[in-house]
Every structure is written in structure tokens, then in C-alpha cells.
């Protein structure tokens, strides 16, 4: 785990955000909330990565920063696709709530 103490708040709150986002993504039917929840999860993960940059005592590790930037780009693209799909579904569903449970047919 992160050896230096000052990284712990980042690590802890990152995990917390991840769990919160996960909870909302699974339980909330509203699509916009799902998309937001996914982004919250992403932010949590990025914070955990950032806490890894602070490992050791010397200079901060630059690699996690690069990873986070890439991750943000990926997350933004995914969000864009999700939002576009949501907009297409909005008139069909008459709202942005995902109907419960996919049909098992």
C-alpha cells in the first residue's frame, strides 16, 4: 500500500468515491445518474492512481499522471457515447429511466 502517509487521504477518498459511484450505477435507474455515477467511479479510480504517484520519498512518479490523463480522455469518450445513446432513448422510453431488469427471452 502507499508507504507515505500523505497519500492516504487520496487513496481513501478515491476508494470511497469508487464505492459510491458503483452503488449509484447499480441501483439508480435514471440514465443520467448512471452516467454521472460512472464518472464518479472514474474519479475515484484516478485518485487512487494519483496516490500511487506519491509513493516513496523522492520526486512524484509521473507515470500515474499520464495514466490519469489517458483515463480521463477515455472516460469522456465513453460519457459522450452514453449521453448520445441516452438522447436517442429519451423519446422512445418517454424519460431517461432504464426499465427494470432486461427481459430474459
Partner 1 sequence: MEGMSDGLTWAAWLLIVPLAGALLAGVWPRAGRWIALATSVLVALLALGAAAQVWTQGPQVVSLGGWVPPLGIGLRLDGLAAFMLLVAALVGLFVGGYSLGYIPRDGHGERFWALWLWLWAALNALFLSGDVFNLYVTLELVVLASTALVALSGGAAALLAAMRYLMVGLLGSMAYLMGVALLYTQHGVLDLGLLAQRGGEGTAMMLAATLMSVGLMAKAALFPLHVWLPPAHGSAPAPASALLSALVVKGAFYILLRLWLTVFQDLAHPGVMQLLGGMGMLAVFWGGFMSLSADRLKPLVAYSTVAQVGYLFLAFPFLLAGPGGWHAAVFLVAAHATAKACLFMAAGNLQEANGGDDRLASVAEVMRARPLTSFALGIAGASLVGLPFTVGFVAKWILLQTAITSGAAFWAVGVVAGGLLTGAYVFRLLGPAFRPGPGRSGRPVPVLREGVTLALALVCVLLGFAGSAGLRLIAATPVAGPGG
Assigned C-alpha cell, 5:
502517509
Whether 30 and 70 have beta carbons less than 8 Å apart is answered as: no
Within 10 Å of residue 73's Cβ, how many Cβ atoms?
10
Residue 68 C-beta: closest distance to partner 1, Å? 9
Residue 13 C-beta: closest distance to partner 1, Å? 13
DSSP symbol at 11:
H
User: What is the C-alpha to C-alpha distance for residues 30 and 33, in angstroms, rounded to an integer?
Assistant: 5
**Which residues inside 46-105 make contact with partner 1, applying CB under 8 A?**
48-49, 51-52, 55, 61, 63-64, 67, 70-71, 74, 77-78, 81-82, 85-86, 88-89, 92-93, 98-99, 101-105
Q: Exposed, middle or buried: residue 47 (CB in 10 Å: 0-12, 13-18, 19+)? A: buried
Which positions touch partner 1 (CB under 8 A)?
A: 1-2, 11, 14, 18, 21-22, 25-26, 31, 34, 38, 41-42, 44-45, 48-49, 51-52, 55, 61, 63-64, 67, 70-71, 74, 77-78, 81-82, 85-86, 88-89, 92-93, 98-99, 101-105
Amino acid at each position: 500500500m502507499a508507504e507515505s502517509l500523505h497519500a492516504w487521504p487520496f487513496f481513501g477518498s478515491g476508494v470511497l468515491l469508487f464505492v459510491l459511484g458503483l452503488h449509484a450505477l447499480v441501483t439508480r435507474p435514471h440514465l443520467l445518474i448512471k452516467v454521472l455515477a460512472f464518472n464518479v467511479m472514474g474519479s475515484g479510480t484516478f485518485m487512487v492512481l494519483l496516490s500511487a504517484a506519491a509513493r516513496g520519498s523522492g520526486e512524484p512518479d509521473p507515470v500515474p499522471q499520464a495514466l490519469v490523463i489517458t483515463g480521463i480522455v477515455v472516460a469522456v469518450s465513453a460519457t459522450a457515447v452514453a449521453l448520445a445513446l441516452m438522447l436517442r432513448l429519451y423519446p422512445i422510453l418517454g424519460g431517461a429511466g432504464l426499465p427494470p431488469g432486461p427481459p430474459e427471452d
